[in-house]
Structure formats: C-alpha cells, structure tokens
Amino acid sequence: MNAPGSALVVEIGRTAQFAWQVLQRSLRPRFASLILPAAHDLGVGSVLLVCIVCAFAGAMLAVQGHASLYTLGAPELLGTFVGYGGVREIFPLVAAGVVGARAGSAIAAEIATLKLGEQLDALTVMAIDPIAYLAVPRFIAAILVMPLVMVFGTLAGLGAAFLTASVQLQVDPGSYLARLYVSLQPFDLWAILIKGVVFGAIIAVVTAAEGFRAHGGTAGVGAAANRAVVRAVIMGSIVNLALSQALFGGWQ
C-alpha cells in the first residue's frame, strides 16, 4: 500500500468511483427540481466574472500577438492568431478556470459543511441518497450551463481583442475581421461546446467528490474547497491538452 504513487492511484480510483455513481444516478435524476437553481448559481453567478477575465485575456492576447506578428511584417494576421489561440484555447480554458475556482470551491465547501454537520448522514437516514440529492443536480446543471458560459466568455474575449487590435494597435478592422472569419469554422463552435460539457462534468464531479470526502472539523471545509479547486484545475488542464490534441492536433 505504501509504494510511491499508491496514494495517487487510490485517489484517482475513488474519484472515478464517485464519478460513476454520479453518472448512474444522472440517467434518472430524482431531484430534477434542483437542477434549475444549481444552473442559476453556476451560470448566472459566474458568467459576468468569466466575461471580464476573458476580456482581459483577449486584450493581452491581441497585444502579445501583435508584438510577435509585427516583427514578421504581417500584423493583420492578428485575426488568425486570436481565432486559433483565443477561441480554441485561451478563452475556454480561462472560462473553465474561473468557474472551477468560483463555483467549484462553493460546491465543495457547501457539501463539506453538510458532511461535517451530519446533514449528509441525516439525508441518508431520511432515505434520501445524498449523491442523488446534492451531486447529480449540480452535475447536470454544470454540463448544461458550462458550454453557454464558455460561449459568452469567448465572445467577450473576441470583443476585447478586436477593440484592442483596432483602437490601440491600429490594425485595419476590415482585414482583422476577414482573417478572423477565415480562421474560424463551425467546428470551432462545436469544440467550445464539447469542451464546455467536459469541463462542466470535471468541475462538478471533482469538487463534489472533495466535499463528500471532507473530514476534520471546520478546518475541513476550507481544506476540501482548497483541494477541490486544485484538483479540478489540474484535471481540467490535463483533459484540455488531450481534447485540444484530439480536436486540433492534426490527426484528422
């Protein structure tokens, strides 16, 4: 049991087991009325923050992209750069990071508080499955809402990048948009939606799992929230790499 890395394997196994329990129960959600409030918390509560952070990321992407492309004498290629780098990678990842940190820590802390206050046991004794009651509605809400949040974040990022390019960097708006338009395909929208579903699932499952595993008094709540965010972000990054490689890695 004490071999190096065995703890990691045990943890991955536990989270996978939890994910399986959530998935099974999501096929027939017993507490469908809780999905809408969870979606509201997750979506409405995060979308403004996501848009703000994506907008800043878009502006910086434009500045640095312009700096690189200017040396090549092709600043109008900035539209292409933002299209590929921003829409496919930066904006979705930033959006997922923001939601993971904000909603993820909230999910973990809330469930951990219930666990440590014996409310999870109380649910079980009242013949209500805590996973079905607490994790499943948040899971379904996350996979429904996350793609939309990512679309909004991407639009905000694109808007900020365009403004920065045309106003500050003096790139010709017409050629910028033309480059951007050519670089984007309908498939890119699908890619955002797919990433949204996957990130939503990861955030909900990983953070809820940490909440359910919380232990050790009030400090346990903070520790669970902390672990939840770290794990969701690490796992999100790994899966993002895998997804990007699969979708855009040139294997097609």
Give the one residue of 1, 27, 127, 186 binding another protein; rule: CB under 8 A.
127
Per rule CB under 8 A, is residue 118 in the interface with another protein? yes
**Residue owning tokens 């045990």:** 10
Give the one residue of 71, 72, 126, 250 binding another protein; rule: CB under 8 A.
126
Sign of CA dihedral 103, 105, 106, 108: positive
Give the one residue of 84, 85, 119, 244 binding another protein; rule: CB under 8 A.
119
> What is the three-class DSSP state of 33?
helix
Which C-beta is closer to another protein: that of 72 or that of 127?
127
Per rule CB under 8 A, is residue 45 in the interface with another protein? no
The token pair that represents 43 in the structure block: 């979506």
Shortest CB 9 distance to another protein, Å: 20
**Residue owning tokens 């940490």:** 210
Q: Which stretch binds another protein (CB under 8 A): 69-77, 114-122, 135-143, 174-182?
A: 114-122
Nearest alpha-carbon partner for 201 in 239, 249, 227, 156 = 239
Q: Which residues of 81-100 are buried (b: 16+ CB within 10 A; e: fewer)?
A: bbbbbbbbbbbbbbbbbbbb
Rg (CA), the chain: 21
**Which of the 8 DSSP states describes residue 250?**
S
Nearest alpha-carbon partner for 55 in 66, 67, 44, 47 = 47
Cα–Cα distance measured from residue 104 to residue 21, given in angstroms and rounded to the nearest whole number = 19
Give the one residue of 16, 23, 117, 170 binding another protein; rule: CB under 8 A.
117
Per rule CB under 8 A, is residue 27 in the interface with another protein? no
Which C-beta is closer to another protein: that of 93 or that of 111?
111
Shortest CB 218 distance to another protein, Å: 13
Shortest CB 121 distance to another protein, Å: 6
Give the one residue of 44, 48, 74, 122 binding another protein; rule: CB under 8 A.
122
Which C-beta is closer to another protein: that of 10 or that of 241?
10
> What is the three-class DSSP state of 7?
helix
27 touches 130 (CB < 8 A): no
Give the one residue of 6, 68, 124, 245 binding another protein; rule: CB under 8 A.
124
The stretches of 119-185 forming alpha helices (DSSP H) are: 119-125, 130, 136-163, 173-183
Which C-beta is closer to another protein: that of 128 or that of 178?
128
Which C-beta is closer to another protein: that of 124 or that of 168?
124
Residues that bind another protein (CB under 8 A): 114, 117-119, 121-122, 124-129
